[in-house]
Amino acid sequence: MGFFIAQLLTGLANAGALFMVASGLSLIFGVTRIVNFAHGSFYMLGAYVGYSLMQVLPGAVGFWTSILLAGVIVGLIGVIVEICVLRPVYRAPELFQLVATFGVILVIQDLTLMTWGAEDVLGPRAPGLTGVVRIMGEPVPKYDLALLVITPFVALGLWYLITRTRVGVLVRAATQDREMVGALGVNQSWLFTGVFFLGCALAGLGGALQLPKGGADLLMDFNILTAVFVVVVIGGMGSLPGAYLAAVLISVLGVFGVTYMPQSTLVLMFVIMVLVLMIRPYGLFGRPEVAGEHGQVGEPERPIKPAGPRARMIVAAGLALLALMPVYGSNFTLVLATDILIFCLFAASLHFILGLGGLVSFGHAAFFGGGAYVAALLVTYADTPMELALLLAPLGAGMAAIIIGWVCLRLTGVYFAMLTLAFSQLLWSLVFQWGEVTRGDDGLVNIWPSAWASGTTVYFYLSLVICTGGILFLRHAAHAPFGYALRAARDSARQAEATGIDTKRVQWAAFALAGAMAGVAGGLFVFSKGSVFPNELEIARSFDALIVVFLGGVKTLAGGVVGGVALEGVKDILTRFEYWRLALGVLIIVVVIVAPDGLVGTARKLAERWGILRGAEDGK
């Protein structure tokens, strides 16, 4: 019994930081409609900044002052990010800001590395709160008890701010209809900046508060991000009580999971989330997203037309150049080209559901990594030949997509996105923790192609044929009636339903097709590398594909491919430098600000302005 209570108390104490970060994310999303991927980075900054302050400020007063100051400083850093990075892109297409926040993650990672070094930082003990208290004979750290008291006060303060002050009223009003708030004379820019300050300060506070428990390290940002997404989804986007309850639920279960089921702690979190969502699709306290915000009508979608003769010639020339690559390229360029081809197919498959279907998936790596693991497991345990494994990889990934799609497509918008992310994390944690089968972090190795395809050149041709075929197939599907139905479901689900299209079924089929195509890419990937590790299923992998699709251009068919080539190419150059993340992050942010239509869209606009291409008006 004593053990049980001690565990419960630790779980409740752990909930504190999680709640603060989650409520910050939730607030920012509510008002600005931005899912701030960089929120985990602000949490990490809070820990590091707090640590540095504690080195300078002595004693108990210094300790607590440091924590408060860390919150304020991180909040101010958030304000700088909001003004410099997000303000210029508020008018960009919805969700484009995601890419900008991902750039922010990379920048903060490297700046943190520069400032504090790669070594993990051991958190200072809280003066006066070291040691344990015995509760029914079980030791409970004093600091945990302090956290237990502090968190409800922060939660109450936040609740008071939101429900009882003018600022809170404006925040809640803006969450529903920010344009109307502006028309009533409230300067939205400052409201956005203020909310960003508050949200980031909460994240920083959370990071600094957990210092004595966990210290600070460079992996904190992604580690908390997943948990925060889960908390926000379980609690319901925009609900503070929901965030609190979900944080407690996840933390307490986490503590008990470590004790009773150490092999499945990660999986447990996602299983709970899926269960909650099956019963309450919008979280415990959430509400369905309001479809169609009030606002100005944007430029109408430009219809996607089949490639004209000139475009076909360019593509044919490009393919010919690629096919001749073994003649003029080195072995190294062939390997790089193979990587890029595989990545392009992966990105094109995400583009298919995202661009044409309007289904923003944050977890597309599940199918890429899934396909890779299917192939690798088949080879490792059944000595399957490469040819068969390459066929079964998309089948496995497609099956996974059918199941995951069935659950996720019950939701829309940001809930759909977060649910896909959770599923990909579920797969990742399965692979990561089920060591007996998947060898966990050690990965599966020695997975080589059949003898005939083992040469670099032959494998390059194999990838060229399969990836080009896959991309052309997706392109073909976009121009087939199926593609029309998919786009109709994206633009107006109701209208599409009224004309007899079963929108959910069409989207489900598209999701499965995209999953299978990602599986093809995953299968090719394994045999090109000879090994696979869990990080092929990670968030970062999904984000890679997202960045590529957004940077390339969501509204153009070539977007996925062009973005894929650009990102992999740039990465190949940049990773030779020590602080390549910083450079890549800055580059991403600059592209987002300068070219909000993506590379292809912006290039087309420029070409039209200079008279190289005919504009849409002339095309009529």
**Residue selected from 137, 292, 298, 500 as contacting other proteins according to rule CB under 8 A:** 298
Query: Shortest gap between Cβ of 25 and other proteins (angstroms)?
Result: 20
C-alpha to C-alpha distances, 39 to 200, 229, 593, nearest whole angstrom: 7, 10, 20
Tracing tokens 């790669």 back to the chain, one arrives at 118
Query: Shortest gap between Cβ of 168 and other proteins (angstroms)?
Result: 9
- Cβ distance 407 to 349 under 8 Å? no
Give dist(CA 555, CA 607) in Å, integer. 16
Q: Does 303 bind other proteins (CB under 8 A)?
A: no
Supply φ then ψ for residue 33, to 5 degrees. Answer: 60, 25
Nearer to other proteins, 296 or 446 (CB): 296
One-letter-per-residue 3-state SS of 289-309: CCCCCCCCCCCCCCCCCCCCH
Q: Which two three-digit tokens encode residue 500?
A: 């007899």
Q: Does 183 bind other proteins (CB under 8 A)?
A: yes
Nearer to other proteins, 182 or 440 (CB): 182
Nearer to other proteins, 137 or 292 (CB): 292
Stretch that binds other proteins, among 290-298, 318-326, 339-347, 389-397 (CB under 8 A): 290-298
- Cβ distance 219 to 259 under 8 Å? no
- Cβ distance 423 to 361 under 8 Å? no
Q: Is the dihedral of CA 596, 599, 602, 606 positive or negative?
A: positive
Query: Shortest gap between Cβ of 21 and other proteins (angstroms)?
Result: 24
Amino acid at 290: V
Nearer to other proteins, 173 or 488 (CB): 173
Stretch that binds other proteins, among 182-190, 327-335, 459-467, 503-511 (CB under 8 A): 182-190
Nearer to other proteins, 166 or 576 (CB): 166
Stretch that binds other proteins, among 289-297, 326-334, 411-419, 568-576 (CB under 8 A): 289-297
CA 489 from centre of chain: 24
Q: Does 184 bind other proteins (CB under 8 A)?
A: yes
Q: Does 296 bind other proteins (CB under 8 A)?
A: yes
- Mask 151-180, x = binds other proteins (CB under 8 A)? ---------------x--xx-xx--xx-xx
Q: Does 91 bind other proteins (CB under 8 A)?
A: no
**Residue selected from 1, 119, 137, 185 as contacting other proteins according to rule CB under 8 A:** 185
How do strand 444-445 and strand 138-141 relate by DSSP bridges?
A: unpaired
Query: Shortest gap between Cβ of 251 and other proteins (angstroms)?
Result: 28
Site for other proteins in 124-153 (CB under 8 A): none
Stretch that binds other proteins, among 183-191, 267-275, 422-430, 470-478 (CB under 8 A): 183-191
Query: Shortest gap between Cβ of 173 and other proteins (angstroms)?
Result: 5
Q: Does 186 bind other proteins (CB under 8 A)?
A: yes
**Residue selected from 1, 118, 279, 297 as contacting other proteins according to rule CB under 8 A:** 297
Give dist(CA 442, CA 432) in Å, integer. 9
What is the helix (H) or strand (E) element at residue 499, kind and residue range?
A: none
**Residue selected from 55, 115, 187, 263 as contacting other proteins according to rule CB under 8 A:** 187
Supply φ then ψ for residue 94, to 5 degrees. Answer: -55, 145
Q: Does 300 bind other proteins (CB under 8 A)?
A: yes
Give dist(CA 562, CA 282) in Å, integer. 36
Site for other proteins in 456-495 (CB under 8 A): none
Burial of 579 (0-12, 13-18, 19+ CB in 10 A): middle
Nearest in space to 195 (alpha carbons), one of 176, 225, 175, 179 = 175
Nearer to other proteins, 169 or 278 (CB): 169
Query: Shortest gap between Cβ of 249 and other proteins (angstroms)?
Result: 24
Give dist(CA 134, CA 232) in Å, integer. 34
- Cβ distance 107 to 44 under 8 Å? no
Nearer to other proteins, 215 or 241 (CB): 241
Q: Which two three-digit tokens encode residue 144?
A: 């945990």
Query: Shortest gap between Cβ of 75 and other proteins (angstroms)?
Result: 24
Give dist(CA 502, CA 488) in Å, integer. 11
Give the binding-site size for other proteins (rule: CB under 8 A): 23
Q: Which two three-digit tokens encode residue 192?
A: 């956005």
- Mask 246-285, x = binds other proteins (CB under 8 A)? ----------------------------------------
The contact set with other proteins (CB under 8 A) reads 166, 169-170, 172-173, 176-177, 179-188, 294, 296-300
